[in-house]
Amino acid sequence: MPDALAFNLNFLHPLMMWGLLALSGYSMFLGIKAKKTRTATPEERKALIKGQYGSRHFQIGSIVLAVMVLGTFGGMAVTYLNNGKLFVGPHLLVGIAMTCLIALAASLIPLIQKGNLIARKIHVGLNMGLMTLFLWQAVTGMQIVNKIWTSRS
């Protein structure tokens, strides 16, 4: 692979993940609004229903799931293509764990749609853990980007 292409591919994953972090935050906002819609008084509920927060949360959440899986494996692929190996460390392991967490959270959707409150609470807990790890990943990812940037020839 040409050096310029390999160098530029190093930055595709971080850019994608920063966009995904923002999109995940938006999905969380929509989820909070959907809960507010479910628990609101009849008067408040009338106004909140117009926002279709539950539907939008589901749609954005689906995009977040797809992009996270692609971003995780894409980052691993670029690392392997550029270095001939993966660097097994906290950033990689937490990224894989995050992909598992989002898959588990998504797998609860059929139960949530049937009104299962325990599944809903587990879904929220998994996603809060995911967001916490995602913020940590942003910091460690920027450390890796800085290392790549300063070691370029």
CA distance 153 to 151: 6
Residue 152 falls within a domain, yes or no? no
Tens digit of each residue's pLDDT (9 = 90 or more) over 103-123: 999 999 999 999 999 999 999
pTM of the model: 0.89
What distance lies between CA 67 and its chain's CA centroid?
7
Mean pLDDT of all residues in 35-64 = 96
> How many structural domains is the chain composed of?
1
Residue 61 lies in a domain: yes
Nearest to 109 by CA among 122, 98, 96: 122
Owning domain of residue 19: 3-145
117, part of any domain = yes
The CATH number of residue 32's host domain is 1.20.120.1770
Better pLDDT: 43 or 151: 43
Asked whether residue 52 is domain-assigned, the answer is: yes
Residue where the block lists tokens 């990224």: 95
- On average, the pLDDT of the chain sits at 92
Other Cβ atoms less than 10 A from the Cβ of 126: the count is 19
Residue 47 lies in a domain: yes
**Residue 28 near residue 131, CB atoms below 8 Å:** yes
- Residue 150 falls inside a structural domain: no
4 vs 107: which has the higher pLDDT: 107
Least Cα distance to 20 among 57, 63, 55 occurs for: 63
Is the Cβ–Cβ distance between 51 and 37 less than 8 Å?
yes
Helix (H, G, I), strand (E, B) or coil at 126: helix
Tokens of 74: 């894409």
Q: Does residue 140 lie in a domain region?
A: yes
Whether 103 and 127 have beta carbons less than 8 Å apart is answered as no
Q: Is residue 153 part of a domain?
A: no
pLDDT category of residue 6 using cuts at 50, 70 and 90: low
